[in-house]
Amino acid sequence: MGVVGWRVRSMVQHLGWNCRRGLSSAAVQSQLENVGFIGLGNMGAHMARNLVMAGYKVTVHDVNENTMKKFSDDGIPTKLSPLEVSKSSDVVITMLPSSAHVLDVYNGRNGLLANGGCLGPWLYIDSSTVDPQTSRKISMDISRCTLKEKKAYAEKPMMLDAPVSGGVPAAEAGKLTFMVGGSEEAYLAAKPLLLSMGKKTIYCGGAGNGSVAKICNNMAMAISMLGVSEAFALGQNLGIKASVLTDIFNCSSARCWSSDTYNPVPGVMMDVPSSRNYDGGFTSKLMTKDLDLAMASASGVGFNCPFGSQALEM
C-alpha cells in the first residue's frame, strides 16, 4: 500500500464512517474540515448546503453573482476566484457544466492550480460530468504538484473524479450516488465527506473511471427514457391512461428508473420535473452533452454504439 496509503487509511479509520446529516463533532477533523466548493448550479448549490448542514466549514465560488449573494446572505463565505477558494481549503470540490469549465477552473488564470504547482488543499474532488480524458488529465496535472505543507496523512495532493447520479431531487435530499475514480486510499479518505451529500459511494477504479461509469450510466438512461416516453405516447394515443400504464410498467418487465422514479408524463408522479412543467430537471441540453461525451469516448476506442448514436440524434 505504501506510506501515503497507510497514513490515509489510518486517518479514515480514525474519522469513522457515520458522516451523514447531523455529523458528530468527533468525525469532523481538521483533515477534512475546510471545504471549498466551486459551481453552485442546480446540483452544486444543494450539495454545498448539505456540507454546511453536516458541520463542514464551507467556502464557495461561482461565476453567477446572484447565486453567490444568496450564500453570502446566509453567512457562507464566498470568494472571487477558484484560487482564492483553494487558499482557505483542505479539500476542494468542483461541480461544473462541462469539460471546458473544469479545465478552466483547474488550469485557467486564477484557477486552482495557478499557484505554481505548490498547492494548499491535499484533496481535489471533481463531481462534474466530463469525459474520462479530462478527468485523467486533471489528475495527472495534480500529481505533478506538491503540497505547501506536508501533512501527516498525505505527502502529495490527490485527485478523485466523483460524478453523481440522482438528479436535483437527490442532490437536495442528500441522496446522491457517487461514482468515484482515483486512488483507493483517497477514496476511503473522501468517503465520509461524500456521504454527507449522498447515500451511496461506489469505487470504480483508477483515475477517470468515475467519469467512465457516469457517461455509460447516462447513455443507458437516455436510451431508456426515450423508450419509456415513446411507449407512454403510444399507449395514450391508443386510449390507455398513463397512470394505468405506469402501474403496469412498474410491476412488469418495462420497469426502470425512467418509469418508477422520474416518470416523464405530467401528473403521474409527484415531485418530478414532468409534474412541474419540467422545471428544475436534467435538461435535454445537458443530456445531449453527456451523449456527445459518450460517443466521443466510444469513437476514441473504436467502439460502435448504435443505440447511443440514435439517442444523441433524437
Which residue type is seen at 290? D
Looking only at the bridges linking them, the beta strands covering 146-147 and 164-165 are unpaired
Grid cell digits, residue 169: 431531487
Grid cell digits, residue 86: 483553494
Residue 181 β-bridge partners: 161, 205
Which residue type is seen at 28? V
Give, as one character, the DSSP assignment of residue 94.
E
CA distance 92 to 60: 10
Q: Tell me whether residue 254 is exposed, middle or buried, using C-beta atoms within 10 angstroms of its C-beta: 0 to 12, 13 to 18, 19 or more.
A: middle
What is the SS3 assignment for 78?
strand
Helices (H) and strands (E) in the chain, counts: 14, 10
CA 96 to each of CA 56, 113, 163, 167, 301: distance values in angstroms, whole numbers, following the listed order? 21, 16, 10, 14, 26
Is 214 among the catalytic positions? yes
Looking only at the bridges linking them, the beta strands covering 198-205 and 176-181 are parallel
Can you state the angle between helices 44-53 and 65-73, rounded to 10 degrees?
20
Q: Where are the beta strands (DSSP E) in the chain?
A: 34-38, 57-61, 91-94, 118-119, 123-126, 146-147, 158-161, 164-165, 176-181, 198-205
Q: Which of 87, 214, 241, 285 is catalytic?
A: 214
The residues carrying an active-site annotation are 214
